[in-house]
């Protein structure tokens, strides 16, 4: 067998999901070029056809991993993920595809991909890093999905490059691509030929390196009004997906964070927003071994660290946002959280940034 199958490992990725439109694109691709039907692939992956009827719905990351592993197993094709990526279209990426198409520059498209890739999948996340004349687009699998099939990052990168060529209209030069998994040397030429650059396997990260100047490249189908309208729709869709996939603890913390700025984080108020009673909220948290006071403290700690790191607000303002009537109370709480005063924490963080 030529594939690294990791179906069992996928069972830990409980809250990660993939758009049905993307899963169907994989199924349709495989049924077109391999010697098995869509029905056979769906059955082999342990999915029900009803799970894949509505492109607006989602399947779990574990189900998608099983699907691509099953496709690799049935086809016995070590290049399956790459082949799939090279054939992805705007429809495969759904709303995200239309957003990137209407962006003004390649940089705007890359930023949209980074901000809204959840619309397609949240098996991993994209980071765009810029350093002087070079930029790196990195795809990082979430910790619960690190042992998923190597076909997934290959499909991601091939899809990015293929779609990028579509919206730009020509091949933007790439310096090199790295993958963290291994690949037989006899197969590597296919990758370098398609990507038109060196492709190196068994590295520390999945990354595409290119010159930063290409981020300013104007796109042929740019439509600012359409782009802005689609961004608004994407924000609403992401919020809906997050609310459905969040654990109860995360939903409560999300509401606490959102209400901290209004200084209205009473248990009654948060319970009302969850459309449950205060007593039910207490019971749900207790069942998970949590208390509301602990969650408040956690949220204040997280927000305090974020605001101090941003270097934009005075410490006394941050103390007020977090509900502390005096800066001295905030300082004591911050020392309890980090073993450092807010002043020292900010100073150390600034030194790290300037290294």
Structure tokens given for 31: 């049924």
Predicted local confidence at residue 354, as pLDDT: 63
> Three-state DSSP class for 222?
coil
> Are residues 74 and 203 located together in one domain of the fold?
yes
> Are residues 272 and 320 located together in one domain of the fold?
yes
> Are residues 124 and 176 located together in one domain of the fold?
yes
241 belongs to a structural domain: no
Angle 95-98-102 from CA coordinates, rounded to 5°: 140
> Are residues 251 and 218 located together in one domain of the fold?
no
What length is written for the chain? 355
CATH number at residue 303: 1.10.10.60
CA dihedral 121, 77, 45, 144 (to 10 degrees): -40
Collect all residues with Cβ–Cβ distance below 8 Å to 43 and sequence separation of at least 6: none
> Three-state DSSP class for 192?
helix
> Are residues 181 and 327 located together in one domain of the fold?
no
CATH number at residue 23: 3.90.1520.10
> CA of 317: how far to CAs of 75, 141, 269, 332, in Å?
60, 36, 24, 16
> CB of 219 within 8 A of CB of 98?
no
Predicted local confidence at residue 124, as pLDDT: 93
235 belongs to a structural domain: no
> CB of 308 within 8 A of CB of 299?
no
- Residue 240: CB atoms within 10 Å: 10
> CB of 200 within 8 A of CB of 192?
no
> Are residues 212 and 301 located together in one domain of the fold?
no
What residues make up the domain containing 272? 246-353
E strand map for 27-131: 58-60, 124-131
Dihedral over Cα of 262, 267, 269, 272: its sign: positive
> CB of 127 within 8 A of CB of 198?
no
Predicted local confidence at residue 3, as pLDDT: 38
236 belongs to a structural domain: no
233 belongs to a structural domain: no
Predicted local confidence at residue 86, as pLDDT: 94
231 belongs to a structural domain: no
> Are residues 59 and 123 located together in one domain of the fold?
yes
Closest CA to 149 of 269, 44, 2, 277: 2
> CA of 298: how far to CAs of 15, 51, 117, 264, 293, in Å?
21, 37, 27, 16, 9
238 belongs to a structural domain: no
E strand map for the chain: 17-19, 58-60, 124-131, 134-141, 176-178, 199-200, 206-211
> CB of 106 within 8 A of CB of 214?
yes
> Are residues 52 and 112 located together in one domain of the fold?
yes
Predicted local confidence at residue 202, as pLDDT: 96
Separation of first and last alpha carbons in the chain: 48
User: What rounded mean pLDDT belongs to the chain?
Assistant: 89
> Are residues 25 and 86 located together in one domain of the fold?
yes
> Are residues 217 and 256 located together in one domain of the fold?
no
Cα gap 290→249, rounded to integer Å: 9
232 belongs to a structural domain: no
Phi, psi of 313 (to 5 degrees): -120, 145
Predicted local confidence at residue 6, as pLDDT: 46
Domain count along the chain: 2
> CB of 136 within 8 A of CB of 176?
no
Predicted local confidence at residue 89, as pLDDT: 84
31 belongs to a structural domain: yes
> Are residues 73 and 214 located together in one domain of the fold?
yes
> Are residues 146 and 201 located together in one domain of the fold?
yes
If you search the block for the tokens 């009803």, which residue do you land on?
50
Which residues of the chain register pLDDT less than 70?
1-14, 244-246, 353-355
pTM listed for this prediction: 0.68
Phi, psi of 48 (to 5 degrees): -100, 140
């Amino acid at each position: 067998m030529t594939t690294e199958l990791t179906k069992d490992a996928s069972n830990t990725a409980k809250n990660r999901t993939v758009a049905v439109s993307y899963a169907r694109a994989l199924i349709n691709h495989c049924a077109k070029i391999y010697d098995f039907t869509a029905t056979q692939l769906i059955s082999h992956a342990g999915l029900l056809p009803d799970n894949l009827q509505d492109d607006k719905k989602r399947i779990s990351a574990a189900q998608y991993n099983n699907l691509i592993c099953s496709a690799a197993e049935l086809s016995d094709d070590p290049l399956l993920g790459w082949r799939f990526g090279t054939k992805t279209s705007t429809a495969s990426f759904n709303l995200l595809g239309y957003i990137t198409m209407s962006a003004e520059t390649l940089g705007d498209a890359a930023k949209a991909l980074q901000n809204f890739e959840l619309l397609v999948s949240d098996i991993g996340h994209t980071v765009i890093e810029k350093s002087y004349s070079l930029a790196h687009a990195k795809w990082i699998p979430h910790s619960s999905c690190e042992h998923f099939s190597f076909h997934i990052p290959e499909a991601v990168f091939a899809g990015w490059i293929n779609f990028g060529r579509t919206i730009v209209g020509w091949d933007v030069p790439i310096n090199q691509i790295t993958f963290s998994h291994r690949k037989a040397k006899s197969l590597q030429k296919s990758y370098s030929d398609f990507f038109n650059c060196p492709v190196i396997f068994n590295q520390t990260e999945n990354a595409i390196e290119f010159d930063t100047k290409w981020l300013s490249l104007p796109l042929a189908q740019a439509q600012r009004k359409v782009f802005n309208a689609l961004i608004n729709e994407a924000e609403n869709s992401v919020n809906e997906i997050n609310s459905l996939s969040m654990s109860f603890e995360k939903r409560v913390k999300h509401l606490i964070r959102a209400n901290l700025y209004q200084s209205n984080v009473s248990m009654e108020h948060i319970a009302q927003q969850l459309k449950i009673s205060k007593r039910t909220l207490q019971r749900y948290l207790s069942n998970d071994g949590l208390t509301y006071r602990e969650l408040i403290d956690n949220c204040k700690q997280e927000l305090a660290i974020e605001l101090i790191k941003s270097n934009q607000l005075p410490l006394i303002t941050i103390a007020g946002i977090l509900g502390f009537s005096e800066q001295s109370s905030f300082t004591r709480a911050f020392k309890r959280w980090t073993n450092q005063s807010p002043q020292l924490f900010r100073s150390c963080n600034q030194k790290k940034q300037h290294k």
